């Protein structure tokens, strides 16, 4: 998969410390949304909320796996998945410690999701330098995506 330029280990997902108040508040919101879906006859919406709650519950009781991440001269390796540079459009780094230290990679395909890689203790300048050889950097992005900010603030990611 090419010569490794940068590598580090990331967690499969971010493990949050949630309090009893968080569970009560989110449970109330979840129940309200389910009842709203049932009341309006939107049973699919109610089912999606129930599935979301189940997934969140299962994730809470699971430890994240460690996944190797590599920047190579041929593409990116995330665990066992290889992303060649021809499938990727651009990258950007949002570095506002201690809240946000992430590398975002946008795919060319609308079907594939945006990759978000925690930088952890990596030097963002070194990561940018390694990637600039193969992908354009989106220097206009200065804030993390709204969906990520909401997920981080509400501890649901």
Give the pLDDT confidence of 82-129 residue by residue, as tens digits.
999 999 999 999 998 888 899 999 999 989 999 999 999 899 999 999
d(CA 113, CA 120): 21
Tell me the pTM: 0.81
d(CA 157, CA 127): 24
Pick the CATH number of 4-11+65-153 from 3.30.1120, 1.10.155, 1.25.40, 2.30.29: 2.30.29
* DSSP category for residue 52: H
* Band of residue 157 on the pLDDT scale cut at 50, 70, 90: low
What's the confidence (pLDDT) of residue 73? 92
- CB 136 within 8 Å of CB 90: yes
Question: Is the link from the previous residue into 24 a cis peptide, with omega within 30 of 0?
Answer: no
Domain ranges in the chain are 4-11+65-153, 20-60
């Amino acid at each position: 998969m090419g010569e490794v330029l940068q590598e580090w280990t990331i967690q499969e997902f971010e493990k949050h410390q949630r309090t009893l108040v968080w569970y009560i508040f989110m449970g109330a919101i979840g129940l309200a949304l389910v009842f709203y879906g049932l009341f309006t006859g939107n049973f699919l919406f109610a089912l999606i909320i129930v599935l979301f709650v189940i997934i969140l519950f299962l994730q809470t009781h699971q430890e994240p796996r460690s996944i190797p991440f590599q920047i190579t001269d041929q593409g990116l390796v995330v665990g066992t998945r290889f992303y060649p540079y021809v499938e990727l459009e651009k990258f950007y780094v949002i570095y506002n410690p201690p809240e946000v230290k992430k590398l975002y990679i946008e795919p060319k395909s609308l079907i594939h999701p945006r990759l978000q890689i925690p930088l952890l203790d990596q030097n963002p300048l070194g990561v940018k330098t390694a990637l600039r050889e193969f992908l354009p950097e989106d220097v206009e992005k200065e804030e993390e995506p709204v969906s990520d900010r909401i997920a981080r603030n509400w501890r649901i990611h």
